[in-house]
Amino acid sequence: MGKDDQGLHTGKRRFQVVPRVLVFLRNKEEVLLLKGAPDKRIWANFYNGLGGHVEVDEDVFTAALREVHEETGLVVSNLELRAIANIDAGNNETGILMFVFVGQSRDRRLISSREGGLHWISIHELPDKELVEDLPWLLPRLFKMKSDQAPLYLHYHYDDNDKLIIRTA
């Protein structure tokens, strides 16, 4: 099978996605979160995990490793896929497919990031009001999961009042 056999040129309009990765690194009872810089286009002044877009020549695991290294200076290899979220952001043609990983870091030495400030925060004292809106729901579920569990399959969309709705399979 070649490129033309992948079914993208059928003449039918299909929902397409932009692949992204999101990574939460733990060190004992703390999680590494990035507080978005005040001038960041999305999630300014909110805590989120590490991550970003998957490049054309990457698989999602390699993208996750690259994003962690670019944003923190850390080299990790023990990431586990914990969730896959299909995100309908209100565009009828394009959405986001988010691959969510959790990993461990023994190293706590971080480089500064232009994306924002890096903070090790206790998983028992997460600042709910300063987290990206899905994290108060998502993080406890991710951290309770066992290594051999299947990932969570999630669908995110926004209602008529622009409120995030999370649906699980």
Whole-prediction pTM: 0.91
- Residue 4 placed within a domain: no
Per DSSP bridges, beta strands 152-158 and 80-87 are: parallel
- Residue 82 placed within a domain: yes
How far CA 106 is from CA of 31, 48, 61, 119, in Å, comes to 12, 20, 20, 15
- Residue 8 placed within a domain: no
Q: What is the pLDDT of residues 68-110, one digit of tens each?
A: 999 999 989 899 999 999 999 887 788 999 999 999 998 888 9
Number of structural domains the chain divides into:
1
Q: What is the pLDDT of residues 37-72, one digit of tens each?
A: 888 788 889 999 999 999 999 999 999 999 999 999
- Residue 10 placed within a domain: no
Q: Which domain holds residue 87?
A: 15-147+159-168
Distance (Å, rounded) from C-alpha 129 to C-alpha 44? 13
Residue 27 belongs to domain with CATH number = 3.90.79.10
- Residue 152 placed within a domain: no
